[in-house]
Amino acid sequence: MIKQLNLNPEVINKSLKVNALDKKLKQALVSTVLVVALVSVAALGINLFIIAKIKVLEISANKYDDVIQENKKLTAETNKMNSFISQIDSIKSTKTNVSKILKEVSGCIPNGGSIDSYNIDDGKSIKLSYSTKEYDDITKFMKNVEDTDFFESINISSISSDSNGFKASVEIEVSSKNGEE
């Protein structure tokens, strides 16, 4: 069998147009695929760059967090040390005040009297138990305390007697100008 050729110019032109259109569509498809591939490669490259930057930033953030944690520890230690120093200063101040108070109280005790026990409250007052053989020594002690500028007031909460003499429970308030030295 022999194939017959259709040599009609319209059919030939139509066939050429279809071939040209197919070629253009193939080129458009290839171009689109290439553009999509290039954009994908570029996006992948940018994504990898961003991931690398994020890792660097995470490392920096972790180092910064470590520094912050170390700073918190050091701040806590510094606060402890400052508190300890304040306590030492307070003890030194109280010790100085206590010795001044005891020295002043001792100077007020008449011969024959003695302090059995005492309790100093923040350097502002002293509670003590005073004993003597003579009742008059209690009034002399009160008068001596009242005559000093170091003390503000004296209150006797109780006086008792036994075979050894008399005992008085006394509270003495330290003058504000002397209690803060």
Question: pLDDT for 32-49, tens place per residue?
Answer: 999 999 999 999 999 999
DSSP codes of every residue in 36-100: HHHHHHHHHHHHHHHHHHHHHHHHHHHHHHHHHHHHHHHHHHHHHHHHHHHHHHHHHHHHHHHHH
Please report the pLDDT score of residue 12 as a whole number. Answer: 61
What's the pTM?
A: 0.46
pLDDT of 177 > 90? The answer is: no
Domain range list for the chain: 101-179
DSSP tag of 164: T
**Tell me: the pLDDT tens digits for 75-101?**
999 999 999 898 888 777 656 577 788
Q: What is the mean pLDDT of residues 45-66?
A: 93
- Its CATH architecture, for the domain 101-179, is 2-Layer Sandwich (3.30)
Radius of gyration for the alpha carbons in the chain, expressed in angstroms and rounded: 51
